[in-house]
């Protein structure tokens, strides 16, 4: 890299904070991916490792299982292991450093920990309702249907 | 609360600054190095930075790398359990982002997976459940 930029420029980006900003800038310039478009108007989009049928990471699998538990099966997903631009780009887009990443109606909801939290405290049922999906848990005889 | 924090700080100081005066010290400096960073430099850095940035009432940094397909002793997969007043009136995503920010350098350079349980002291009173991390399924990296 240094032979392309010249020593003084490279020194300027050598501190770790500057380097991060620099790499982000480069990533944005070279990004061929329009994440805004990818998530806009879609009820659920998941950026994950592997596919919902064959997740390749325990955290990605957990997100899929949680959604399935609520009866959500046919959500849109992107395998970040299959596309490096998406893998790096989505982290820049959300300023979130880990995969999986879940979007409801174009809005970033969080990763595995947050989905698990929302599942445990019942908020996920409400979030699904907001995007027009009735959680299957509400139909179970021992469910918590208050509607 | 302040007293508890102070005790915790004193404990940290003692641990980090005075290891060579430890009566169990063997070989002085060599032991001090081990006591300060041990063979867990990343785990210790995470602990220190989170302590400095978020003044936690409770903090646990767990190296879960052994659950993944990495060599023994690797520091790549971590779980952070952190209870701090800094999370009061903060949205869920932002709690995680406060943690990310404090340890940005490690996330950029060495930590490949991070699970976070971030709670306010009041939330921690209600539930101390930190869950179990899912089993690895083979995909490498962050």
Q: Which residue of A has its CA nearest to B69?
A: A57
d(CA A5, CA A18): 15
Number of domains in chain B: 1
Q: How far is A103 from chain B (nearest CA, A)?
A: 13
Report chain A residues whose CB lies below 8 A from the CB of B108: 16, 20, 97
Residue B110 exposure: Cα atoms within 13 Å on the Cβ side: 15
Question: How high is the pLDDT of residue B106?
Answer: 96
More confident residue, A64 or B15: A64
Determine, for residues A58 and B137 on separate chains, whether the beta-carbon distance falls below 8 Å: yes
Per-10-residue mean pLDDT, chain B, length 142: 44 37 36 51 97 98 91 94 97 96 95 96 90 77 58
Question: How high is the pLDDT of residue A29?
Answer: 54
Is B60 within a domain? yes
Determine, for residues B104 and A108 on separate chains, whether the beta-carbon distance falls below 8 Å: no
Lowest mean pLDDT among A26-30, A31-35, A102-106, B127-131: A26-30
Residues 6+ apart with CB under 8 A from B119: B82, B83, B87
% chain A with pLDDT above 70: 74
Domain range holding B107? 41-126
pLDDT digits (tens, 9 = 90+) for A17-28: 666 666 655 555
Across residues A103-109, what is the average pLDDT?
Answer: 97
Instruction: Determine if the pTM surpasses 0.80.
Output: no
Is B81 within a domain? yes
Q: Which residue has the tokens 């290891």?
A: B19
Report chain A residues whose CB lies below 8 A from the CB of B138: 56-57
Query: Of A50, A57, A97, which has the smallest distance from its Cβ to B107's Cβ?
Result: A97
Question: Which of A50, A51, A53, A57 is the best mutation test for B, with the most CBs of B within 10 A?
Answer: A57
Give Rg (Cα) of chain B: 16
Across residues A57-62, what is the average pLDDT?
Answer: 96
Q: How far is A133 from chain B (nearest CA, A)?
A: 22
CATH code where residue B55 lies: 3.30.300.90
Is B114 within a domain? yes
Average pLDDT, chain A: 85
Q: How far is A35 from chain B (nearest CA, A)?
A: 19
Question: How high is the pLDDT of residue B117?
Answer: 96
Looking at this predicted complex, what is its ipTM?
Answer: 0.72
Question: How high is the pLDDT of residue B140?
Answer: 59
Across residues A124-138, what is the average pLDDT?
Answer: 96
Decide if A108 touches B, using CB distance below 8 A: yes
Residues 6+ apart with CB under 8 A from A98: A59, A91, A111, B113, B114, B142
Q: Is the pLDDT of residue A62 over 90?
A: yes
Is B4 within a domain? no
Question: How high is the pLDDT of residue B21?
Answer: 37
Report chain B residues whose CB lies below 8 A from the CB of A114: 92-93, 96
List, as one string, the DSSP characters of B75-116: --EEEEEEE-GGGTT--HHHHHHHHHHHTHHHHHHT--EEEE
d(CA B13, CA B8): 9
Decide if A89 touches B, using CB distance below 8 A: no
Residue B107 exposure: Cα atoms within 13 Å on the Cβ side: 24
Is B94 within a domain? yes
% chain A with pLDDT above 90: 70
Is B140 within a domain? no
Determine, for residues A114 and B133 on separate chains, whether the beta-carbon distance falls below 8 Å: no
Is B48 within a domain? yes
Question: How high is the pLDDT of residue A73?
Answer: 85
Is B83 within a domain? yes
Decide if B110 touches A, using CB distance below 8 A: no
Lowest mean pLDDT among A4-8, A67-71, A121-125: A4-8
Report chain B residues whose CB lies below 8 A from the CB of A108: 93
């Amino acid at each position: 890299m240094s032979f392309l930029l010249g020593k003084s420029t490279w020194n300027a980006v050598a501190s770790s904070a500057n380097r991060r900003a620099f790499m982000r800038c480069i990533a944005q310039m070279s990004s061929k991916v329009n994440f805004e478009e990818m998530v806009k108007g879609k009820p659920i989009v998941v950026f994950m490792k592997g596919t919902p049928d064959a997740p390749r990471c325990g955290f990605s699998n957990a997100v899929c299982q949680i959604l399935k538990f609520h009866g959500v099966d046919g959500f849109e997903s992107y395998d970040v292991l299959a596309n490096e631009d998406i893998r790096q780009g989505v982290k820049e887009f959300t300023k979130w450093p880990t995969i999986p990443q879940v979007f409801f109606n174009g809005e970033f909801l969080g990763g595995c920990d947050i989905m698990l939290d929302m599942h445990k405290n019942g908020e996920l049922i409400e979030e699904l309702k907001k995007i027009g999906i009735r959680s299957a848990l509400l139909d179970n005889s021992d469910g918590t249907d208050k509607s | 609360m302040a007293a508890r924090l102070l005790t915790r700080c004193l404990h940290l100081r003692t641990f980090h600054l005075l290891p060579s005066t430890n009566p169990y010290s063997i070989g002085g400096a060599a032991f001090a190095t081990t006591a300060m960073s041990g063979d867990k430099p990343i785990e210790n850095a995470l602990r220190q930075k989170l302590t400095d940035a978020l003044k936690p009432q409770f903090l646990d940094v767990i190296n879960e790398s052994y659950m993944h397909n990495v060599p023994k002793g690797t520091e790549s997969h971590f779980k952070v359990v952190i209870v701090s007043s800094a999370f009061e009136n903060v949205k869920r995503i932002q709690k995680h982002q406060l943690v990310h920010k404090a340890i940005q350098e490690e996330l950029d350079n060495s930590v490949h997976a991070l699970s976070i349980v971030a709670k306010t002291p009041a939330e921690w009173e209600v539930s101390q459940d930190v869950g179990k991390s899912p089993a690895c399924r083979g995909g490498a990296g962050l």
